[in-house]
């Protein structure tokens, strides 16, 4: 298996959209350790607390506050920086929020992606663009087998449909404007991620951490829903390897990649809740409370990551239970010793890379 190359990333000008979010903060911390020169473009953190603030990550990049729906401001921020790599992660990332604000979800996830790609068109020195979408971009038929990159795109709810539409936008731009001497572009699809620092509403591990810190039971709506849980570092390694490969082997890669645990690692929500409570220890518990009339949510969704294994030497390094344990430790530290979070985050990144190297 492969880790991102320090030789490639050291000094590489990298623009990340959505760097103030959960996944963005972890990516920024990793790029900092790799020695990349990073400009982050995003709205301020949407939660308090946030990993971005707790880890003082504004000091690790050129931090630009910008709404990706504002095309002129976004284009100026991208083109002034002249990146070699762009990783586009800024998004409205919650299924239930998509039901509450569908127009905003489509504007951010679809037209925001258009604006990012417009900013990247004909940009001198740009080598690679990675557009991050979601496992929910697939037309979910509740199949028992894992979805491959060739499956139909779709989406029952506004969030899922917006991610399917973002995929179509990206692949249209790839065919029409990228390649043949232009920057290489590909999309990345990841399943549910866990890890310290996510305080969004309606996130299982974030809700579990809040409940455990308050010594109250976590309320679970759908205990039998099956999801491809993985630590946040797993897909981030995929994004970095993909961007690296697009720069080094333009024209030689597939246009879309799944990054998820092996299908046998997918766990129902009840098992994830049990694992988190065991990792947290005293004070952590959960209970099932059905929510009649709640919006539709997929019950079964897993990804086939074999293409990433073949083309990028990417495979999961941590089991789902290892991921949950690492997340619980991060949240406990945030609750009891927040001043130690920066060191813990660095150690978890280093430990993860060591485990990749050892496999």
pLDDT value, residue 244: 98
Q: Cis peptide before 49, with omega less than 30 degrees from 0? A: yes
pLDDT value, residue 298: 58
Residue 307 contacts residue 292 (beta carbons within 8 Å): no
**Where residue 121 falls among pLDDT bands split at 50, 70, 90?**
very high
**181-223 pLDDT tens trace:** 678 999 999 988 999 999 998 889 999 999 999 999 999 988 9
Tell me which fold the domain 6-357 belongs to. Answer: Rossmann fold (3.40.50)
Task: Select the highest-mean-pLDDT range: 156-160, 225-229, 266-270, 288-292.
Answer: 156-160
Lookup: tokens for 187:
């999309």
CA atoms within 13 A on the CB side of 298: 28
Please classify residue 33 by burial: count the beta carbons closer than 10 Å to its beta carbon, then call 0-12 exposed, 13-18 middle and 19+ buried: middle
Q: What residues does each domain of the chain span? A: 6-357
Give me the helix-helix angle, 341-357 and 22-34, nearest 10°: 70
- CA 198 from centre of chain: 11
The answer on pLDDT for 294 being more than 90 is no
Predicted model pTM: 0.95
The answer on pLDDT for 338 being more than 70 is yes
CA distance 345 to 350: 9
Q: What per-residue string of b and e applies to 163-197 under the rule 16 or more CB within 10 Å gives b?
A: bbbbbebbbebbeebbeeebbbbbbbbbbbbbbbb
- The β-bridge relationship of strands 256-259 and 267-268 is unpaired
pLDDT value, residue 171: 96
């Amino acid at each position: 298996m492969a880790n991102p190359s320090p030789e490639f990333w050291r000094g590489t000008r990298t623009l990340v959209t959505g760097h103030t979010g959960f996944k963005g903060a972890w990516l920024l911390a990793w790029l900092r350790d790799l020695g990349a020169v990073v400009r982050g473009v995003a709205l301020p953190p949407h939660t308090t607390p946030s990993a971005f603030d707790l880890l003082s990550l504004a000091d690790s990049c050129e931090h630009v506050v910008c709404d990706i729906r504002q095309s002129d401001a976004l284009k100026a921020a991208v083109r002034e920086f002249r990146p070699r790599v762009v990783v586009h992660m800024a998004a409205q990332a919650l299924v239930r929020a998509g039901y509450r604000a569908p127009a905003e979800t489509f504007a951010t996830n679809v037209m925001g992606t258009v604006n990012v790609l417009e900013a990247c068109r004909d940009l001198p020195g740009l080598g690679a663009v990675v557009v991050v979408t979601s496992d929910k971009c697939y037309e979910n038929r509740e199949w028992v087998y894992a979805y491959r990159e060739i499956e139909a795109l779709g989406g029952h709810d506004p969030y899922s449909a917006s991610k399917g539409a973002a995929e179509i936008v990206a692949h249209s731009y790839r065919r029409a404007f990228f390649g043949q001497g232009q920057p290489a572009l590909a999309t990345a699809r990841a399943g549910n991620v866990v890890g310290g620092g996510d305080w969004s509403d309606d996130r299982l591990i974030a809700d579990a951490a809040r409940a455990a810190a308050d010594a109250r039971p976590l309320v679970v709506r759908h205990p039998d829903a099956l999801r491809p849980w993985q630590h946040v570092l797993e897909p981030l390694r995929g994004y970095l390897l993909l961007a690296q490969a697009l720069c080094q082997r333009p024209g030689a890669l597939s246009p879309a990649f799944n990054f998820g645990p092996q299908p046998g690692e997918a766990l129902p929500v009840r098992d994830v809740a049990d694992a988190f409570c065991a990792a947290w220890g005293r004070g952590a518990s959960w209970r099932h409370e059905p929510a009649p009339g709640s919006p539709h949510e997929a019950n079964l969704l897993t990804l086939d990551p074999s293409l990433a294994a073949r083309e990028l030497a990417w495979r999961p390094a941590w089991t789902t239970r290892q991921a949950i344990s690492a997340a619980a430790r991060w949240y406990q530290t945030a609750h009891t010793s927040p001043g130690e979070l920066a060191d813990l985050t660095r150690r978890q990144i280093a430990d993860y890379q060591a485990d990749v190297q050892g496999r």
